[in-house]
Structure 1
Amino acid sequence: MKLLVRNLARQTTEIEMRKLFEEFGEVGECTLVLDQETGQSKGFGFVYMPDLDQAKTARFALNGKEIDNSKIKVKVAS
């Protein structure tokens, strides 16, 4: 299941985002979206978790959680 992670703090790294989701299972892919000009985070990214149950658990556990002083939003990517 591919998840969209929004409202990330600008200082949150891709490694930190991956570790957050790995607490709930295997992460197949993790991508933090960066601004092409500045290289800075745009505040959102995508996480792919191959196991559906693990992805659902991570989604419900992390949606609304405060990370780096920012409440993240996690939903299924369309």
Structure 2
Amino acid sequence: MKILVRNLDRSVTEAEVLDLFKTYGKVDSCVVVKDADTGKSKGFGFVEMSNPREAVKAVKGLNTLKVKGAGIRVKIAEDKA
């Protein structure tokens, strides 16, 4: 399951996001999206978890959690049409 993580502070690293999600289960991938020109975070990313039950628990547990002062938004990513 692909999970969208928004409202990340620009200083949050992929390792920090990975640590948040690992407490809920096995994480297959974790990416913080970066600007192609500056290499700086765009403030959102994606996490993939293969176990749907663990993914739903992670979404419920982490949505609105404060990370470096910002309440992150976590939800199941919607497939592009």
TM-score by length of 1: 0.98
CA distance in 2, matches of 1:37, 1:12: 18
Partner amino acid, structure 1, of 2:18: R
Look up the match of 1:77.
77
Partner amino acid, structure 2, of 1:57: K
Where in structure 2 are there 5+ consecutive unaligned residues? none
Where in structure 1 are there 5+ consecutive unaligned residues? none
3-state DSSP of counterpart to 2:5: strand
Q: CA RMSD of the aligned region, Å?
A: 0.4
Residue identity (%): 46
Structure 1 position 6, deviation (Å): 0.1
3-state DSSP of counterpart to 2:4: strand
CA distance in 2, matches of 1:57, 1:77: 15
Look up the match of 2:22.
22
Question: Deviation digits for residues 34-59 of structure 1, max 9, x if unmatched?
Answer: 00111000000000000000000000
CA distance in 1, matches of 2:39, 2:6: 18
